[in-house]
Amino acid sequence: MIDRRRFLQSSALCTLAPTVGYAACEDGVSRFDANSTAEEVTLGLDLTGKTALVTGINSGIGYETMRVLALRGAHVLGTARTYEKGRIACDSVVGETTPLVLELSDFNSIVTCSDQIQAMGMEIDILICNAGAIFADLWQVNGVEAHFVINHLGHFVLVNRLLNRVIAAPQGRIVIVGSQAHQSAPEAGIQFSDLSGASWFGRQVAYGHSKLANGLHSLELSRRLKDTHTTSNVVHPGIVRTNIARDLPGWQQAAFQIFGYLFLKSLEEGAATTCYVATNPDVEKISGCYFADSNPATPHENMQDVPMGVKLWEVSERLTEGYLV
Protein backbone atom coordinates (compact mmCIF):
# COMPACT_ATOMS: atom_id res chain seq x y z
CA MET A 1 0.00 0.00 0.00
CA ILE A 2 1.47 3.39 -0.96
CA ASP A 3 1.54 6.16 1.64
CA ARG A 4 0.26 8.73 -0.81
CA ARG A 5 1.02 11.84 1.24
CA ARG A 6 4.62 10.78 1.92
CA PHE A 7 5.17 9.70 -1.65
CA LEU A 8 3.88 13.03 -2.97
CA GLN A 9 6.07 14.97 -0.57
CA SER A 10 9.21 13.01 -1.37
CA SER A 11 8.70 13.17 -5.12
CA ALA A 12 8.31 16.92 -4.82
CA LEU A 13 12.05 16.96 -4.25
CA CYS A 14 12.83 15.33 -7.60
CA THR A 15 12.92 18.54 -9.57
CA LEU A 16 16.24 18.43 -11.36
CA ALA A 17 15.56 17.71 -15.02
CA PRO A 18 14.83 20.90 -16.97
CA THR A 19 12.49 19.29 -19.51
CA VAL A 20 10.88 15.91 -19.99
CA GLY A 21 11.70 13.52 -22.80
CA TYR A 22 8.81 13.74 -25.22
CA ALA A 23 10.41 10.95 -27.26
CA ALA A 24 8.85 8.44 -24.85
CA CYS A 25 5.44 9.76 -25.86
CA GLU A 26 5.96 8.48 -29.40
CA ASP A 27 4.98 5.00 -28.17
CA GLY A 28 1.44 6.40 -28.12
CA VAL A 29 1.27 6.79 -31.91
CA SER A 30 -1.97 5.34 -33.24
CA ARG A 31 -3.69 4.71 -36.57
CA PHE A 32 -6.35 7.27 -35.65
CA ASP A 33 -6.45 10.86 -36.87
CA ALA A 34 -8.38 14.12 -36.67
CA ASN A 35 -11.44 12.53 -38.28
CA SER A 36 -11.64 9.60 -35.88
CA THR A 37 -14.60 9.59 -33.51
CA ALA A 38 -14.81 8.59 -29.86
CA GLU A 39 -16.79 5.51 -30.85
CA GLU A 40 -14.15 4.52 -33.40
CA VAL A 41 -11.19 4.87 -31.03
CA THR A 42 -12.95 2.72 -28.41
CA LEU A 43 -14.42 0.14 -30.78
CA GLY A 44 -14.07 -3.37 -29.37
CA LEU A 45 -13.11 -2.23 -25.88
CA ASP A 46 -15.07 -3.62 -22.95
CA LEU A 47 -14.98 -1.22 -20.01
CA THR A 48 -17.38 -3.25 -17.90
CA GLY A 49 -16.38 -3.04 -14.24
CA LYS A 50 -14.47 0.22 -14.69
CA THR A 51 -15.45 3.52 -13.13
CA ALA A 52 -14.82 6.83 -14.90
CA LEU A 53 -15.29 10.28 -13.41
CA VAL A 54 -15.86 12.98 -16.04
CA THR A 55 -16.35 16.67 -15.20
CA GLY A 56 -18.68 18.85 -17.26
CA ILE A 57 -20.93 16.14 -18.76
CA ASN A 58 -24.00 18.22 -19.50
CA SER A 59 -22.49 19.78 -22.61
CA GLY A 60 -20.01 19.43 -25.45
CA ILE A 61 -16.98 17.17 -25.29
CA GLY A 62 -17.75 16.00 -21.75
CA TYR A 63 -21.22 14.81 -22.75
CA GLU A 64 -19.88 12.81 -25.71
CA THR A 65 -17.05 11.43 -23.57
CA MET A 66 -19.56 10.22 -20.97
CA ARG A 67 -21.86 8.79 -23.63
CA VAL A 68 -19.13 6.71 -25.26
CA LEU A 69 -17.48 5.50 -22.05
CA ALA A 70 -20.90 4.39 -20.74
CA LEU A 71 -21.68 2.77 -24.10
CA ARG A 72 -18.52 0.69 -23.72
CA GLY A 73 -19.62 -0.50 -20.28
CA ALA A 74 -17.97 1.89 -17.80
CA HIS A 75 -19.91 3.30 -14.88
CA VAL A 76 -19.57 7.05 -15.44
CA LEU A 77 -19.77 9.47 -12.55
CA GLY A 78 -20.62 12.68 -14.37
CA THR A 79 -20.45 16.13 -12.88
CA ALA A 80 -22.51 19.20 -13.75
CA ARG A 81 -23.03 22.50 -11.96
CA THR A 82 -26.57 21.60 -10.93
CA TYR A 83 -28.11 18.24 -10.14
CA GLU A 84 -30.83 18.81 -12.72
CA LYS A 85 -28.35 19.42 -15.56
CA GLY A 86 -26.42 16.30 -14.58
CA ARG A 87 -29.53 14.15 -14.24
CA ILE A 88 -30.90 15.15 -17.64
CA ALA A 89 -27.55 14.43 -19.33
CA CYS A 90 -27.08 11.11 -17.52
CA ASP A 91 -30.65 9.99 -18.27
CA SER A 92 -30.13 10.64 -21.97
CA VAL A 93 -27.32 8.13 -22.50
CA VAL A 94 -27.25 4.34 -22.61
CA GLY A 95 -25.39 2.63 -19.77
CA GLU A 96 -24.65 3.21 -16.10
CA THR A 97 -24.18 6.84 -15.12
CA THR A 98 -24.43 8.78 -11.85
CA PRO A 99 -24.89 12.56 -11.78
CA LEU A 100 -22.96 14.63 -9.25
CA VAL A 101 -22.86 18.35 -8.56
CA LEU A 102 -19.56 20.17 -9.01
CA GLU A 103 -18.93 23.91 -9.23
CA LEU A 104 -15.24 24.40 -9.89
CA SER A 105 -15.18 28.05 -8.78
CA ASP A 106 -16.32 26.98 -5.31
CA PHE A 107 -13.78 24.78 -3.50
CA ASN A 108 -16.42 23.78 -0.92
CA SER A 109 -18.45 22.28 -3.76
CA ILE A 110 -15.38 20.28 -4.83
CA VAL A 111 -14.92 19.00 -1.28
CA THR A 112 -18.59 17.94 -1.10
CA CYS A 113 -18.40 16.22 -4.50
CA SER A 114 -15.18 14.38 -3.74
CA ASP A 115 -16.48 13.33 -0.30
CA GLN A 116 -19.54 11.84 -2.00
CA ILE A 117 -17.31 9.89 -4.36
CA GLN A 118 -15.05 8.73 -1.52
CA ALA A 119 -18.16 7.52 0.32
CA MET A 120 -19.11 5.37 -2.68
CA GLY A 121 -15.93 3.44 -1.94
CA MET A 122 -14.98 2.40 -5.46
CA GLU A 123 -11.68 2.68 -7.32
CA ILE A 124 -11.56 5.28 -10.09
CA ASP A 125 -10.05 3.80 -13.24
CA ILE A 126 -10.40 6.97 -15.29
CA LEU A 127 -10.51 10.56 -14.05
CA ILE A 128 -11.19 13.08 -16.80
CA CYS A 129 -10.82 16.77 -15.95
CA ASN A 130 -12.87 18.09 -18.82
CA ALA A 131 -14.98 21.01 -17.59
CA GLY A 132 -13.80 24.42 -18.66
CA ALA A 133 -14.87 27.89 -19.62
CA ILE A 134 -13.85 31.00 -21.56
CA PHE A 135 -14.80 34.47 -20.32
CA ALA A 136 -14.75 37.70 -22.28
CA ASP A 137 -13.98 39.86 -19.26
CA LEU A 138 -11.60 39.81 -16.35
CA TRP A 139 -13.07 38.59 -13.09
CA GLN A 140 -11.58 36.95 -10.07
CA VAL A 141 -12.37 34.33 -7.47
CA ASN A 142 -10.79 35.28 -4.15
CA GLY A 143 -8.47 37.62 -6.03
CA VAL A 144 -7.29 35.00 -8.55
CA GLU A 145 -8.11 35.26 -12.27
CA ALA A 146 -11.21 33.15 -13.01
CA HIS A 147 -9.92 30.97 -15.90
CA PHE A 148 -6.98 29.93 -13.73
CA VAL A 149 -9.31 29.08 -10.84
CA ILE A 150 -12.01 27.22 -12.79
CA ASN A 151 -9.95 25.51 -15.47
CA HIS A 152 -6.92 24.72 -13.30
CA LEU A 153 -7.21 25.18 -9.52
CA GLY A 154 -10.62 23.53 -9.25
CA HIS A 155 -9.34 20.41 -10.98
CA PHE A 156 -6.15 20.57 -8.92
CA VAL A 157 -8.29 20.23 -5.77
CA LEU A 158 -10.46 17.51 -7.30
CA VAL A 159 -7.50 15.38 -8.39
CA ASN A 160 -5.80 15.84 -5.03
CA ARG A 161 -8.87 14.68 -3.12
CA LEU A 162 -9.48 11.61 -5.31
CA LEU A 163 -5.93 10.54 -6.13
CA ASN A 164 -6.00 7.68 -3.62
CA ARG A 165 -8.95 6.17 -5.52
CA VAL A 166 -7.18 6.46 -8.88
CA ILE A 167 -3.95 5.00 -7.50
CA ALA A 168 -6.00 2.13 -6.04
CA ALA A 169 -7.24 1.15 -9.52
CA PRO A 170 -5.19 -1.52 -11.36
CA GLN A 171 -4.14 1.03 -13.98
CA GLY A 172 -5.64 4.41 -13.19
CA ARG A 173 -5.56 7.12 -15.81
CA ILE A 174 -5.92 10.84 -15.32
CA VAL A 175 -6.72 12.79 -18.46
CA ILE A 176 -6.73 16.56 -18.31
CA VAL A 177 -8.46 18.32 -21.18
CA GLY A 178 -6.11 21.15 -22.07
CA SER A 179 -5.89 22.95 -25.36
CA GLN A 180 -3.56 23.99 -28.13
CA ALA A 181 -4.56 27.44 -26.87
CA HIS A 182 -1.85 26.98 -24.22
CA GLN A 183 0.33 28.57 -26.92
CA SER A 184 -1.54 31.85 -26.30
CA ALA A 185 -0.37 32.06 -22.69
CA PRO A 186 2.05 34.90 -21.87
CA GLU A 187 5.49 34.22 -23.32
CA ALA A 188 7.05 33.86 -19.88
CA GLY A 189 4.48 31.22 -18.94
CA ILE A 190 2.57 31.13 -15.66
CA GLN A 191 2.21 34.63 -14.21
CA PHE A 192 3.24 33.80 -10.67
CA SER A 193 3.80 37.44 -9.73
CA ASP A 194 0.24 38.48 -10.68
CA LEU A 195 -2.29 35.67 -10.66
CA SER A 196 -5.09 38.25 -10.41
CA GLY A 197 -4.67 38.80 -14.14
CA ALA A 198 -4.88 42.57 -13.68
CA SER A 199 -1.61 43.31 -15.49
CA TRP A 200 -1.92 40.86 -18.41
CA PHE A 201 -5.57 39.86 -18.97
CA GLY A 202 -6.84 39.34 -22.46
CA ARG A 203 -9.48 36.68 -23.18
CA GLN A 204 -7.23 34.46 -25.29
CA VAL A 205 -4.18 35.05 -23.14
CA ALA A 206 -6.04 34.21 -19.93
CA TYR A 207 -7.70 31.11 -21.38
CA GLY A 208 -4.33 30.00 -22.78
CA HIS A 209 -2.69 30.67 -19.42
CA SER A 210 -5.18 28.33 -17.71
CA LYS A 211 -4.63 25.69 -20.39
CA LEU A 212 -0.86 25.93 -19.92
CA ALA A 213 -1.56 25.35 -16.22
CA ASN A 214 -3.58 22.24 -17.17
CA GLY A 215 -0.58 20.88 -19.08
CA LEU A 216 1.93 21.65 -16.34
CA HIS A 217 -0.42 20.13 -13.75
CA SER A 218 -0.51 16.91 -15.76
CA LEU A 219 3.24 16.95 -16.30
CA GLU A 220 4.06 17.35 -12.61
CA LEU A 221 1.41 14.81 -11.66
CA SER A 222 3.01 12.28 -14.01
CA ARG A 223 6.39 12.84 -12.33
CA ARG A 224 4.87 12.32 -8.89
CA LEU A 225 3.13 9.16 -10.09
CA LYS A 226 6.14 7.65 -11.81
CA ASP A 227 6.48 4.73 -9.36
CA THR A 228 2.82 3.77 -9.68
CA HIS A 229 0.60 2.21 -12.36
CA THR A 230 -1.27 5.51 -12.64
CA THR A 231 -0.72 7.79 -15.62
CA SER A 232 -1.45 11.44 -16.28
CA ASN A 233 -1.70 13.02 -19.71
CA VAL A 234 -3.09 16.21 -21.20
CA VAL A 235 -5.06 16.36 -24.44
CA HIS A 236 -6.05 18.94 -27.02
CA PRO A 237 -9.46 17.86 -28.36
CA GLY A 238 -9.19 19.94 -31.53
CA ILE A 239 -11.35 22.98 -32.24
CA VAL A 240 -14.79 21.57 -31.62
CA ARG A 241 -18.38 22.80 -32.12
CA THR A 242 -19.52 23.14 -28.50
CA ASN A 243 -21.00 25.74 -26.17
CA ILE A 244 -17.54 26.93 -25.08
CA ALA A 245 -18.13 30.40 -26.61
CA ARG A 246 -21.32 30.99 -24.57
CA ASP A 247 -19.85 33.81 -22.44
CA LEU A 248 -18.47 35.74 -25.39
CA PRO A 249 -20.27 38.67 -27.05
CA GLY A 250 -23.17 37.62 -29.35
CA TRP A 251 -21.37 38.22 -32.64
CA GLN A 252 -18.40 36.11 -31.52
CA GLN A 253 -20.74 33.26 -30.54
CA ALA A 254 -22.47 33.49 -33.92
CA ALA A 255 -19.13 33.50 -35.75
CA PHE A 256 -17.99 30.46 -33.75
CA GLN A 257 -21.18 28.57 -34.60
CA ILE A 258 -21.10 29.43 -38.34
CA PHE A 259 -17.36 28.85 -38.65
CA GLY A 260 -17.78 25.75 -36.52
CA TYR A 261 -20.49 24.31 -38.70
CA LEU A 262 -18.25 24.65 -41.71
CA PHE A 263 -14.79 23.84 -40.42
CA LEU A 264 -14.63 22.58 -36.84
CA LYS A 265 -14.64 19.09 -35.40
CA SER A 266 -17.94 17.51 -34.53
CA LEU A 267 -18.58 16.43 -30.93
CA GLU A 268 -17.99 12.82 -31.96
CA GLU A 269 -14.54 13.76 -33.28
CA GLY A 270 -13.87 16.19 -30.42
CA ALA A 271 -14.20 13.52 -27.73
CA ALA A 272 -11.97 11.03 -29.54
CA THR A 273 -8.57 12.04 -28.15
CA THR A 274 -9.85 12.09 -24.57
CA CYS A 275 -11.43 8.66 -24.99
CA TYR A 276 -8.34 7.26 -26.73
CA VAL A 277 -5.97 8.37 -23.98
CA ALA A 278 -8.43 7.29 -21.26
CA THR A 279 -8.98 3.75 -22.55
CA ASN A 280 -6.65 2.46 -25.23
CA PRO A 281 -4.42 -0.42 -24.08
CA ASP A 282 -1.52 0.93 -26.19
CA VAL A 283 -1.13 3.99 -23.95
CA GLU A 284 -1.34 2.26 -20.58
CA LYS A 285 2.30 3.03 -19.79
CA ILE A 286 2.40 6.49 -21.33
CA SER A 287 2.40 9.38 -18.92
CA GLY A 288 3.41 13.03 -18.91
CA CYS A 289 2.49 13.41 -22.58
CA TYR A 290 0.41 15.77 -24.70
CA PHE A 291 -2.01 14.31 -27.25
CA ALA A 292 -3.94 15.77 -30.16
CA ASP A 293 -5.93 13.90 -32.85
CA SER A 294 -5.47 10.67 -30.83
CA ASN A 295 -1.69 10.85 -31.24
CA PRO A 296 1.20 12.31 -29.27
CA ALA A 297 1.99 15.92 -30.13
CA THR A 298 4.68 18.38 -29.14
CA PRO A 299 3.45 21.20 -26.92
CA HIS A 300 4.99 24.65 -26.46
CA GLU A 301 8.27 24.47 -24.55
CA ASN A 302 6.62 26.12 -21.54
CA MET A 303 4.40 23.07 -21.18
CA GLN A 304 7.53 20.90 -20.95
CA ASP A 305 9.16 23.12 -18.36
CA VAL A 306 9.58 20.94 -15.29
CA PRO A 307 10.65 23.72 -12.88
CA MET A 308 7.62 25.77 -13.97
CA GLY A 309 5.41 22.74 -13.28
CA VAL A 310 6.96 22.26 -9.85
CA LYS A 311 6.45 25.91 -9.00
CA LEU A 312 2.86 25.81 -10.26
CA TRP A 313 2.22 22.80 -8.03
CA GLU A 314 3.58 24.59 -4.97
CA VAL A 315 1.65 27.79 -5.70
CA SER A 316 -1.54 25.80 -6.39
CA GLU A 317 -1.13 24.04 -3.04
CA ARG A 318 -0.83 27.41 -1.30
CA LEU A 319 -3.87 28.84 -3.09
CA THR A 320 -6.02 25.83 -2.22
CA GLU A 321 -4.77 25.31 1.32
CA GLY A 322 -7.48 23.95 3.58
CA TYR A 323 -9.19 22.10 0.73
CA LEU A 324 -6.53 19.45 0.06
CA VAL A 325 -6.03 16.10 1.76
Ligand X SMILES: NC(=O)c1ccc[n+]([C@@H]2O[C@H](COP(=O)([O-])OP(=O)(O)OC[C@H]3O[C@@H](n4cnc5c(N)ncnc54)[C@H](OP(=O)(O)O)[C@@H]3O)[C@@H](O)[C@H]2O)c1
Catalytic residues: 207
Directed axis angle between helix 203-224 and helix 306-319, to 10°?
Answer: 100
CB nearer to ligand X: give 242 or 304: 242
3-state secondary structure of 19: strand
Q: What's the one-letter identity of residue 148?
A: F
- CA angle at residue 250 from 248 to 256, to 5 degrees? 70
Min CB(283)–ligand X separation in Å: 19
Min CB(184)–ligand X separation in Å: 11
User: Mind spelling out the 3-state secondary structure of 146-183?
Assistant: HHHHHHHHHHHHHHHHHHHHHHHCCCCEEEEECCHHHH
Residue nearest to ligand X (CB): 60
Find, among 186, 103, 136, 251, the residue nearest to 114 by Cα.
103
CB nearer to ligand X: give 102 or 157: 102
Point out which residues bind ligand X (CB under 6 A): 56, 58-62, 80-81, 85, 102-105, 130-133, 150, 177, 179, 236-237, 239-240, 242-244
CB nearer to ligand X: give 129 or 306: 129
Min CB(300)–ligand X separation in Å: 14
Question: What is 220-282 written as a DSSP string?
Answer: HHHHHTTTSS-EEEEEE--SB-SSTTTTS-HHHHHHHHHHHHHHSBPHHHHTHHHHHHHH-GG
Min CB(309)–ligand X separation in Å: 19
CB nearer to ligand X: give 103 or 125: 103
CB nearer to ligand X: give 60 or 189: 60
- Report the run of H or E that residue 97 belongs to, with start and end: strand 97-101
Instruction: For residues 197 and 147, give the distance between their C-alpha atoms in angstroms, rounded to a whole number.
Output: 10
Min CB(224)–ligand X separation in Å: 22
Instruction: For residues 159 and 310, give the distance between their C-alpha atoms in angstroms, rounded to a whole number.
Output: 16
Instruction: For residues 2 and 228, give the distance between their C-alpha atoms in angstroms, rounded to a whole number.
Output: 9
